[in-house]
């Protein structure tokens, strides 16, 4: 054994804890260590122990909570004008009908996305490795597009400045 102390079930105090739950409510973190039998008996965490845990269960639970859109959402009558898919169908399947559904159901989806991700706007990420190279590559692509645009507009002085900037970023590559 690697020297780790075995945590005992906080409920029965008889079996080793196999299930660890962390919960943060209003900034207060609480942790529970339970054996599988006690976790199953408590029922509060049954979704972690069986195959019945699905995206549809999560969405259905979130959509049914107070503070989320009701009325047309609950009735399921609001449909995407492009594909005819209803919000109710989304709530039941966990999938949207087409890419236009994001706009059609924006007022219903935003609270869900906010609840799941903590913000509505996607910020994107750079990988820890190679972030500088990726950023430089994107800058070079933008500069090349701007230079080509300047050439098309016959703004040759601007194009020459952009060319020089590209060369300095490339560090003499390809010459």
Q: Do residues 33 and 12 touch, judged by C-beta distance below 8 A?
A: no
pLDDT tens-digit profile of 60-107? 666 655 444 443 444 456 789 999 988 888 877 778 889 898 899 888
- The confidence score (pLDDT) of residue 76 equals 53
More confident residue, 120 or 11: 11
Where exactly are the structural domains of the chain? 7-52, 55-117, 131-170
**Angle 106-117/55-64 helices, nearest 10 degrees?**
110
Mean pLDDT over all residues of the chain? 76
Question: pTM for this one?
Answer: 0.37
Q: Is 138 exposed, middle or buried (0-12, 13-18, 19+ CB in 10 A)?
A: exposed
Nearest Cα neighbor of 107 from 65, 60, 66, 72 is: 72
Q: In whole angstroms, what separates CA 99 from the centre of its chain? A: 17
Q: Do residues 33 and 64 touch, judged by C-beta distance below 8 A?
A: no
- The confidence score (pLDDT) of residue 157 equals 95
Reply yes or no on whether the pLDDT at 148 is more than 50.
Answer: yes
């Amino acid at each position: 054994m690697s020297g780790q102390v075995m945590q005992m079930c906080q409920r029965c105090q008889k079996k080793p804890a196999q299930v660890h739950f962390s919960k943060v409510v209003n900034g207060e973190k609480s942790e529970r260590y339970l054996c599988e039998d006690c976790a199953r008996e408590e029922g509060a965490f049954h979704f972690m122990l069986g195959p019945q845990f699905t995206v549809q269960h999560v969405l259905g639970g979130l959509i049914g909570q107070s503070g989320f859109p009701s009325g047309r959402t609950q009735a399921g009558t609001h449909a995407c004008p492009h594909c005819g898919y209803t919000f109710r169908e989304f709530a039941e399947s966990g999938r949207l009908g087409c890419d236009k559904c994001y706009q059609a159901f924006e007022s219903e989806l935003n609270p869900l996305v906010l609840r799941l991700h903590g913000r509505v706007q996607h910020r994107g990420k750079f990988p820890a490795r190679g972030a500088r190279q990726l950023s430089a590559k994107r800058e070079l692509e933008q500069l090349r597009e701007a230079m080509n645009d300047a050439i098309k507009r016959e703004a040759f002085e601007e194009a020459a400045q952009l060319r020089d900037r590209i060369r300095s970023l490339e560090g003499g590559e390809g010459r």
